[in-house]
Structure 1
Amino acid sequence: MTKTLRKKTVPAAPADPMPRRVEPCVATLVDKPPKGPQWAFEVKWDGYRLAVHVEPGEVRAITRGGYDWTRKFALIVAEARQLGHASMILDGEAVVLDDQGRSDFGLLQRAVGKKPSLHEPSEIIFFAFDLLYLDGHDLRSLPLGERRSRLEPIIAGRTGPIRFSEEVHADGAEFFRAACELGLEGIIAKRRDKPYHSGRRPEWLKIKCTRRDWFVIVGYERSTVPGAIGRLLLAAKKGDGLVYVGGCGTGWSNKESVQLRELLDAIPAKRPPVSLKRKGAIFSEPLLVAEVEYRAWTQDGKLRHPSFKRVGQRAEEVEVYHLD
C-alpha cells in the first residue's frame, strides 16, 4: 500500500522585510503654497510625529527621534491592533485638540507628562497621513497618491484614537488663508506623484501662518528686575553645531521670567555653546529650547521681532530650527 506524503505548509516570508525604524520625511518651510494639480494639501498638525509599527506580536509607537514611546500612547497602540492587518507602518502626528478643534502642542505635552493635567492621555488623537508598509510589502517606492489610497479604507471614518488626516480639496492659497483665519498653525503641501524619502524633502512643504519655531536656549542677559531675565540668547542648529540667531526679550510674565532664570542658573555652561562676545551674557548648557514666534530673518541671520511662547527640553520630540 502506497502512502501519500503530505508536505507541511510553511508560512511564506514577507516580500519585503519590515524595517524596525523609518527615518521620517520632513517638510521644507516655504513662504507661500505651491500651485498645480500635482500638490495635495492637509492641515499642519502641531504635535508629536509618530510612526506606529504593527507586527503580529508587537505594536510600537516610535517618535521622530527614534524613541520608543509605546507606553505614552497606549490607547493609540491598542487601536492599531484593531485595524485588521498583520503588519503595517503608519506615519502621522499625535495631537490634543482644543475646544475649537485645533491641535495644541502645550495641551499634548501636559497630557503625556507626569504632572497632573486637565487633559488626559485618552484625549490624544493620532492623525495618520501616510502608509509606509502593509502586510509584507514596503510601500515607500509608490507615489503618495497610491499610498494614501491604500491608507484611507483602513482608517477613514474612524472616530477613536486613530483617525485619517484628510486631504483638503482647494486652491492652496485659499486654503492657507482659511487656515490662518481659523487660528491653525499652517498647512502642508505634498506632491501626489512622489515616493517616500527620509529626511527634509522639497516634495513636502510646510507653510506657517506665522513663523513659529523652536530654538536652543544658550544663555540669557539679566533684567533690571531682580532675579528675572532681560533677554534669552537663542541658537539654531547648523551641521553638528549651534549658531547664535539673536536674543528674545518679550513674551513672558514676570513669574515666567524668574522661573526661566532659575532653570538656566541650574545648568551653567562650562564654555559658551556659541561663538558670541557679548558683555553681560550668562551662558547655559544647551539643554532647553524655546518656541519663538517671529516675523522674518534679518540680512545678518538674526530673528526679527521674536516673542517667547514656551519652553521645552531638547530630549522631547521638538524640531529645533536648522539653518542647513
Structure 2
Amino acid sequence: MTKPPRKPAQPLLGDADAPLRSRPRKKRDPAQPNLPFDPMPARVDPCLALLKPKPPKGRQWAFEVKWDGYRIAVHIEPSGVRILTRGGHDWTDRFPAIATEARRLPVSTAILDGEAVVFDELGRSDFGRLQQSLGGRGGNRSSREAVMMAFDLLYFDGHDLMETEFTARRHLLEGLVPAGGEEAVRLSEEIEADGDTLLRIACDHGLEGIIAKDRNSTYRSGCGGDWLKIKCIQSDGFTIVGYQMSGAAFGNIGALLLAARKGDELIYVGSVGTGFKADEAMKLRATMDKIKATKPAVVYSGGRKNLTWIKPKLVAEIEYRAWTHDGKLRHPSYKGLRELQDNATVYELE
C-alpha cells in the first residue's frame, strides 16, 4: 500500500539536458569521533518556505519538488518513534507505515523533517487523497498509504544539527535515507537543474511547484527566507465564513464564501463552487451546520442569495490562478479542509 507508481520521476528527471538527480555521496563513516551529546529537543518549530513568484538565481540555491501534504517531524528515540504535526500534535498512530519504517532506519536518535503525502496514479502527491486516507478533516482513521518525503535532518545520533549548514545536514540525510527508495520513508531528492528549468518541468508534470533552499543556511524556525517556494498554481488557506444553498449541488453547497486575514480583521475574497466530491460535500455541510452564525464575520456585498453564515472556524485549502483587480480569487477550486493539528494558516492580505 505504500508503493505508488514512480512514473513521473524519470520524465521529470530526464527532460532537462543536464542530469537532474543528486550526485552520489559517500556513506558516512560509522567510526565517528566521540563528541559530547546534545540534548534532544522535544519539539522543533519547522522552518517555513517564503512564497516567491520566480525561482532565485545563483549556485547557493538547492532545488527540490514541492510536496502537497501534511508537514511532519519524525522523532526517533530510544523509547520509540514519535510523529508530530506542524502544530505539535502526536500523530504517530495516524501514520503507522511511516512509524514502522522509521524504526528500521540505521540510527539511534534522530529528528527528520518532511512531508506526509499520498500519491495519485501518476505518482504526484495529492492533498485530497491524503485527507481521504485519514478519514477527512476531524477523522481519526490511520493512513497506511501515507509516505514521508524526508527533506532535512535536525538531530542525528545525539548531535543537534540545527546550527549546521544545510549542505552538511543534507549529506547526513542522504546517508540515512538513500535516494530512490520505495518504502514509507523516502528521500526528497535534490534536483540539480536551473530553477527556471525545473519549475517549467514541474508545472508540465502537474506538480504543485518547487522549493529553493540556501545551501549555507542554518535551520531557523519560521519564515525567514532561507527556504523559498515557487508554485505552478497558487494554493493557500482561506477561512470559510458561509455558504450558498443549492438543491442541485453535492451537499446542497452551491458555493463557499471565503475570507482572508488583514491584521485582526477578516476580508471577503470571493467564493468557490468547484472541486467538491459528493461524500466530502456531505461531511462539510454537516460540519458547517453545527457552527451556524446569525450574522456574517465579514463585510459582504457579493449579491448572492440563499446564504447561510457560519462562525469562522474552518480553513479551506483553495487552488486559484490569480487575484482580480477588486481583490477576489480568480478561478478558485476547493481542495479540502486544513486540520487544526496542521497549524492551519489563513492567507494574509498585504
Scaled by the length of structure 2, the TM-score of the pair is 0.78
Q: Which residue of 2 aligns with 1:216?
A: 239
Overall identity of the aligned pairs, in %? 52
Larger gyration radius, structure 1 or structure 2: 1
Is 1:320 the counterpart of 2:340? The answer is no
The question of whether the paired residues in 2 share the 8 Å contact of 1:236 and 1:320 is answered with: no
Q: Residues 136-173 of structure 1: CA distance to partner in whole angstroms, max 9, x if unpaired?
A: 21111111111101111011144311111100000111
Cα separation, 1, equivalents of 2:248 and 2:105: 56
Offset, 1:291: 2.6
Q: What's 2:308 paired with?
A: 282
Write out per-residue CA displacement over residues 238-293 of structure 1, whole angstroms, 9 at most, x where no aligned residue.
55654332223444479976775554333202553334466655310223333322
Quick one: distance in 1 between partners of 2:87 and 2:261?
15
Q: Distance in 2 between matches of 1:255 and 1:93?
A: 26
Who is 1:295 aligned against?
A: 321
Q: Distance in 1 between matches of 2:69 and 2:158?
A: 29
Q: Is it true that 1:81 corresponds to 2:106 in the alignment?
A: no
Partner-residue secondary structure (3-state), 1:22 = coil
Letter in 2 for 1:305: H
Contact 2:235 2:317 in 1 (8 A): yes
User: CA, structure 1 residues 70+232, in 2 after alignment: closer, same or farther (shift >3 Å)?
Assistant: same
- CA deviations on 1:180-231 (whole Å, 9 max, x unpaired) are 1111111111111111111122121111111122212111234486983443
**Partner Cα separation in structure 2 for residue 286 and residue 219 of structure 1:** 8
Q: Distance in 2 between matches of 1:58 and 1:310?
A: 34
More strand by share: 1
Q: How does 1:250-289 map to 2 (within 5 A)?
A: 250-252=274-276, 260-269=284-293, 271-276=295-300, 280=305, 281-289=307-315
Give 1:311 shift: 3.2
Query: Could you tell me how far apart the structure 2 residues matched to 1:134 and 1:99 are?
Result: 34
Q: Kindly indicate whether the alpha-carbon contact (under 8 Å) linking 1:237 and 1:320 is maintained by their aligned counterparts in 2.
A: no
Q: Where does residue 24 of structure 1 map in the other structure? A: 46
Within the candidate set 67, 71, 75, 1:45 is matched to 67
The answer to whether the Cα contact below 8 Å between 2:318 and 2:336 also exists between their aligned partners in 1 is no
Q: Which moved more, 1:17-26 or 1:287-296?
A: 287-296
Q: 1:322 to 1:120 in 2, by over 3 A?
A: closer
Deviations 1:100-138 (A, max 9, x none): 1111112212223289xxx98333211110000112211
Alignment length, in residue pairs?
309
1:186 to 209, 214, 230: 209
Q: Which moved more, 1:57-66 or 1:154-163?
A: 154-163
**Separation of aligned partners in 1, 2:121 and 2:334:** 20
Structure 1 unaligned segments of length 5 or more: list them: 1-11
1:176 alignment partner in structure 2: 199
- Please list every run of at least 4 consecutive aligned residues from structure 1 whose deviation after the TM superposition is greater than 6 angstroms: 253-259
Q: Report what 2:221 is aligned to.
A: 198
Q: Does 1:248 align with 2:278?
A: no
Give me the TM-score of the superposition, normalised by structure 1. 0.84
Question: Aligned runs of 1:52-67 on 2, under 5 Å?
Answer: 52-67=74-89
- From 85, 102, 110, give the equivalent of 2:132: 110
Given candidates 162, 183, 199, the residue that maps to 2:185 is: 162
Tell me, yes or no, if the aligned pair for 2:96 and 2:142 is still in contact at 8 Å.
Answer: no
Please say if residues 37 and 158 of structure 2, whose CA atoms lie closer than 8 Å, have aligned partners that are also in contact: yes
Q: CA deviation at 1:299?
A: 4.6
Contact conserved, 1:287 with 1:314, CA < 8 A, in 2? no
User: SS of the residue aligned with 1:234?
Assistant: strand
Please tell me whether residue 128 in structure 1 is matched to residue 150 in structure 2: yes
What amino acid does structure 2 have at the position aligned with 1:139?
L
Cα RMSD (Å): 2.9
One-letter code aligned to 2:51: L
Q: Among residues 336, 340, 345, which one is paired with 1:311 in the alignment?
A: 336
Q: Which residue of 2 aligns with 1:8?
A: none
